Structure 1
């Protein structure tokens, strides 16, 4: 993947943060946030660092789940996402900070858990990001993160990618397959963690949930305009962003119906001990 593609895939700006929070969080991220926050609580931490926090879906779940004495520090590379996160009420104090997961601005051995929800796929150098997580973990601490499984096991994303491939056959927008659903191989993840210095064998668990939305249009809008897929669509000729969104809505309606959509989503939860 070239540098321009990496930059575009990680560009959550403009209207994306608002649509992401309003549509994608309840559709995709909230169920997994509840799951991974409960896993974090079971480890009994006193200080937790979240990387790639986005608009705060996991941050809010941890605020609800972790005991009041636990300190939560939430970071993201994109200030626009943190700005949106900070506008949503949260039940306790959280430290929000812009930070690059590849260059964490924290002391060695200063957190009990480093946690990341659906962010590892976006790290341009995954072993370097994992090494930074290991550096800031205390001995006995844990890196806990989740990643989407292959696109074939995530039905809305697969349907939209197929529809866009038909609309732009010469240069299909493959953001969803390339990045969100491009880091699912357990052996590759294990190798990256080992390269980062995690000696113990990581633990994997596959978690399947259902993604629900009120309409096909809502799903198409969420994916096409509330993610960096928008950047790929807008860079192409032959169809506008709104036209591409409508084509995707039609494909979703043909497969799942026009209203009350219900599709499979699947992810891996990974835990690595310091």
Structure 2
């Protein structure tokens, strides 16, 4: 059974953009863009750019910089094109083997993508390789299920629905909250000074149905459910019902938490 958590293809980018973007990504994209701008980079590489929500935040705060976008999935980059200036370079690329020369960027940026990389150490080493001396690597990860209960609710429903073989997706994006592990990886990869910010946020939810569509159809869990002959419509309905029971009727907010890292090349 194919449980590839990195395959954001087909209709996934659309639901990711419309269902998850307004709730989970737009606020943190603005935070990310501001964090990058504080280092005044001239040339920025974004890794795992997705549908360009984070890219738009980078552009908004770094108007004078050149931005290069990469992602493993071309379908995600096709949606990103509408969110960045015309002519912005976009390229399908693996974070573990970047197709760029040494020292070519002042900043490497990755919002919520590191968790999907099979060899995180290789991705860190590649980020260091393409950075100029003194350049900054800015990346963010989701905190654990304990700090993002909405994800625990979805993961619990999947385990309940498929008790013999639960889809594993929701263990991936929320499975890299160990700050010390990431600190060691950064230092072992040639980075020096490190700043870490834990960022709670009350995320706005306008519609439980739209958010539930994003949570089930807007990531590879949809393919994992189909591979198990599951009913996506029923899962979306149940996710919306359980989130409404947990947090109250929409519109409302839900508590979420992420961790933002900034580390400088030595």
TM superposition shift of 1:115: 0.5
Deviation (angstroms), 1:90: 3.3
Equivalent in the alignment of 1:214: 206
Equivalent residue of 2:251, what SS?
Answer: strand
Contact persistence 2:19–2:212 (CA under 8 A):
no
What are the ranges of 5 or more consecutive residues in structure 2 without an aligned counterpart? none
Residue 132 (structure 2) aligned to one of 138, 143, 146: 138
Equivalent position of 2:90 in the other structure: 96
1:192 aligns with 2:185: yes
Q: Residues of 1 paired with 2:120 and 2:2: CA distance?
A: 17
Q: Does 1:251 align with 2:242?
A: yes
Runs of 4+ in 1 over 3 A off after TM superposition: 89-93
Partner of 2:56: 60
Q: Deviations over 1:151-198 (max 9, x none)?
A: 11113212211222222222222311x211011101111222233222
Question: Hey, what's the Cα distance between the residues in 2 that align with 1:242 and 1:4?
Answer: 21
In the superposition, relative to structure 1, how do residues 228 and 182 fare at CA in structure 2: closer, same or farther (>3 Å)?
Answer: same
What is the 5 A alignment of 1:1-150? 4-5=2-3, 8-68=4-64, 70-86=65-81, 88-91=82-85, 93-150=87-144
In structure 2, the CA distance between the partners of 1:89 and 1:272, relative to structure 1 (3 Å rule), is closer
- Tell me the distance in 2 between the aligned counterparts of 1:185 and 1:114: 21
Aligned-partner Cα distance in 1 for 2:31–2:16 = 20
Contact 1:215 1:259 in 2 (8 A): yes
| Residues 215-268 of structure 1, C-alpha deviations (whole Å, 9 max, x = no match) | 22122111001111112221224x411112112122112112242132111000
Where 1:114 maps in the other structure, the secondary structure is strand
Question: Greater CA deviation, 213-222 or 127-136?
Answer: 213-222
TM-score under structure 2 normalisation? 0.94
Aligned length: 265
Deviations 1:135-156 (A, max 9, x none): 0000001111000000111132
Q: Is 1:179 equivalent to 2:175 in the alignment?
A: no
Q: TM-score, normalised on structure 1?
A: 0.92
1:269 corresponds to 2:260: yes
Distance (whole Å) between structure 2 residues aligned to residue 130 and residue 89 of structure 1: 26
1:152 maps to: 146
Q: Note if contact 1:47-1:111 (Cα within 8 Å) is conserved in structure 2.
A: yes
RMSD in angstroms over aligned alpha carbons?
1.6
Distance 2:84 2:102 in 1: 28
Whole-Å separation in 2 of the counterparts to 1:218 and 1:39: 29
